[in-house]
Structure 1
Amino acid sequence: MVNGSVIPLEDRLRAGFGHLGDTLDEYLTRICSEDSVVHSFASVDPELARRRVRYLESVPADRRGRLHGLVLPIKDLMPVAGFPCSYGSVTRTEQHVGTDPWAAQLLRKGVIIPGKTQTSEMGMTAYCEPVGMPAVANPLWPGRTPGGSSGGAAAAVALGLVDVAHASDGGGSIRVPAAATGTVGVKPPHNSSGGSPTAQGFITRSVGDAAFVFGVSTVRRPLRIGVLVEPLHGGGSVSPVMVSTVCTVADRLSDLGHRVREVSRPYGERPFAAFADVLASRSVHIPGPASDIIEWLRERGAALSESRRAEAVADFDAVLGMILSAWDIDVLLSPTLAFDPPEIGHFSRLEPPEDFAEQTRWTPWATLFNMTGGAAVSVPVAAAGRPPVGVHLGSVRASFGELLGVASQVHP
Structure 2
Amino acid sequence: MKFEDYIQHDALGLADLVRRGEVSPQELLDTALARTDQTHGQLNAVVRRLDEQARQRCAQPFDTQAPFAGVPFLLKDLFQDLAGLPSSCGSKPLSRVPAPESADVVRRWQDAGLVIFGKTNTPEFGARNVTEPLAFGPTRNPWNLSRTPGGSSGGSAAAVAAGIVPVAGANDGGGSIRIPAAACGLFGLKPGRGRVSSGPGAAEGMNGAAVQGVLSRSVRDSAAMLDVLQGPEAHGPYHMPAPPQPYLQAIQQAPGRLKIGFSTESPIGTPVSSEAIAAVKDAAALLESLGHHVEEAKLPVDGLGLAKDFLLAWFSRQAALVCELEQVHGIKPSAFEPDTRAMAAVGRSVPAVELLLSEARWNEHNRALARFHGQYDLWLSPVLASPPIPIGHLATSKTLHIASDLVAMLGLSGLLRKTALFQNTIINNLAWTPFTQLANLTGRPAMSVPLYWTPDGMPMGVQFVAGLDGEAMLLRLAAQLEQARPWFGRRPAI
User: Shift in Å at residue 102 of structure 1?
Assistant: 1.8
Q: In the TM superposition, what whole-angstrom CA distance separates every residue of 1:188-219 from its partner, at most 9, and x where no partner exists?
A: 11248984210101111122322222232324
Q: Paired residue for 1:405? A: 476
Within the candidate set 335, 347, 368, 1:301 is matched to: 347
User: Shift in Å at residue 294 of structure 1?
Assistant: 1.4
Q: Paired residue for 2:366? A: 320
Q: In the TM superposition, what whole-angstrom CA distance separates every residue of 1:302-357 from its partner, at most 9, and x where no partner exists?
A: 11111111111111233121111244111111111001122111111434734432
1:331 correspondence with 2:385:
no
1:239 correspondence with 2:273:
yes
User: Shift in Å at residue 397 of structure 1?
Assistant: 5.3
Are the equivalent residues in 2 in contact too, given 1:179–1:379 (CA < 8 A)?
yes
Q: Paired residue for 2:262? A: 227
| Structure 1 residues 109 and 9: CA distance shift in structure 2, 3 A | closer
| Structure 1 residues 206 and 240: CA distance shift in structure 2, 3 A | same
Are the equivalent residues in 1 in contact too, given 2:191–2:445 (CA < 8 A)?
yes
Q: Which moved more, 1:203-212 or 1:69-78?
A: 203-212
User: Shift in Å at residue 385 of structure 1?
Assistant: 2.5
SS class of match (1:27): helix
User: Shift in Å at residue 241 of structure 1?
Assistant: 1.5
SS class of match (2:119): strand
Q: Paired residue for 1:342? A: 389
What is the alpha-carbon distance in structure 2 between the residues aligned to residue 325 and residue 376 of structure 1? 17
User: Shift in Å at residue 7 of structure 1?
Assistant: 4.6
Are the equivalent residues in 1 in contact too, given 2:14–2:71 (CA < 8 A)?
no
User: Shift in Å at residue 145 of structure 1?
Assistant: 1.2
Q: Which moved more, 1:185-194 or 1:141-150?
A: 185-194
Taking structure 1 as the reference length, the TM-score comes to 0.93
Are the equivalent residues in 2 in contact too, given 1:120–1:128 (CA < 8 A)?
yes
Whichever residue aligns with residue 361 of structure 1, its letter is A
1:86-105 matched pairs, under 5 angstroms? 86-93=88-95, 94-105=97-108
Q: Work out the number of aligned pairs and report it.
A: 407
What is the alpha-carbon distance in structure 2 between the residues aligned to residue 162 and residue 98 of structure 1? 25
Q: RMSD of aligned C-alpha atoms? A: 2.2
Taking structure 2 as the reference length, the TM-score comes to 0.78
SS class of match (2:450): strand
Are the equivalent residues in 2 in contact too, given 1:266–1:322 (CA < 8 A)?
yes
**Runs of at least 5 residues in structure 2 that lack an aligned partner in the other structure:** 195-203, 228-246, 323-332, 402-421, 484-494
What is the alpha-carbon distance in structure 2 between the residues aligned to residue 82 and residue 178 of structure 1? 30
What is the alpha-carbon distance in structure 1 between the residues aligned to residue 376 and residue 469 of structure 2? 9
Are the equivalent residues in 2 in contact too, given 1:120–1:127 (CA < 8 A)?
yes
User: Shift in Å at residue 148 of structure 1?
Assistant: 0.5
SS class of match (2:48): strand
1:41 correspondence with 2:41:
no
1:251 correspondence with 2:285:
yes
Are the equivalent residues in 2 in contact too, given 1:330–1:398 (CA < 8 A)?
no
What is the alpha-carbon distance in structure 1 between the residues aligned to residue 124 and residue 271 of structure 2? 28
Whichever residue aligns with residue 362 of structure 1, its letter is W
User: Shift in Å at residue 2 of structure 1?
Assistant: 8.1
Are the equivalent residues in 2 in contact too, given 1:375–1:394 (CA < 8 A)?
yes
Within the candidate set 194, 210, 216, 1:204 is matched to: 216
SS class of match (2:150): coil
What is the alpha-carbon distance in structure 2 between the residues aligned to residue 277 and residue 299 of structure 1? 12
Within the candidate set 358, 374, 382, 2:444 is matched to: 374
User: Shift in Å at residue 165 of structure 1?
Assistant: 0.5
SS class of match (1:238): coil
1:19-38 matched pairs, under 5 angstroms? 19-38=24-43
SS class of match (1:357): helix
Structure exhibiting the larger radius of gyration computed from Cα positions: 2
Same amino acid, percent of matched pairs:
30
User: Shift in Å at residue 97 of structure 1?
Assistant: 4.7
Q: Paired residue for 2:337? A: 291
What is the alpha-carbon distance in structure 1 between the residues aligned to residue 477 and residue 8 of structure 2? 19
User: Shift in Å at residue 396 of structure 1?
Assistant: 2.5
Q: Paired residue for 2:160? A: 157
Q: In the TM superposition, what whole-angstrom CA distance separates every residue of 1:216-275 from its partner, at most 9, and x where no partner exists?
A: 23242111111011112x321111111122112112112212121111131223222111
User: Shift in Å at residue 82 of structure 1?
Assistant: 4.6
What is the alpha-carbon distance in structure 2 between the residues aligned to residue 167 and residue 86 of structure 1? 15
Whichever residue aligns with residue 188 of structure 2, its letter is G
Q: In the TM superposition, what whole-angstrom CA distance separates every residue of 1:14-39 from its partner, at most 9, and x where no partner exists?
A: 11233111111111111122222100
User: Shift in Å at residue 143 of structure 1?
Assistant: 1.0
Are the equivalent residues in 2 in contact too, given 1:332–1:396 (CA < 8 A)?
no
What is the alpha-carbon distance in structure 2 between the residues aligned to residue 315 and residue 157 of structure 1? 37
Q: Paired residue for 1:11? A: 13
Whichever residue aligns with residue 68 of structure 1, its letter is A
1:136-175 matched pairs, under 5 angstroms? 136-175=139-178
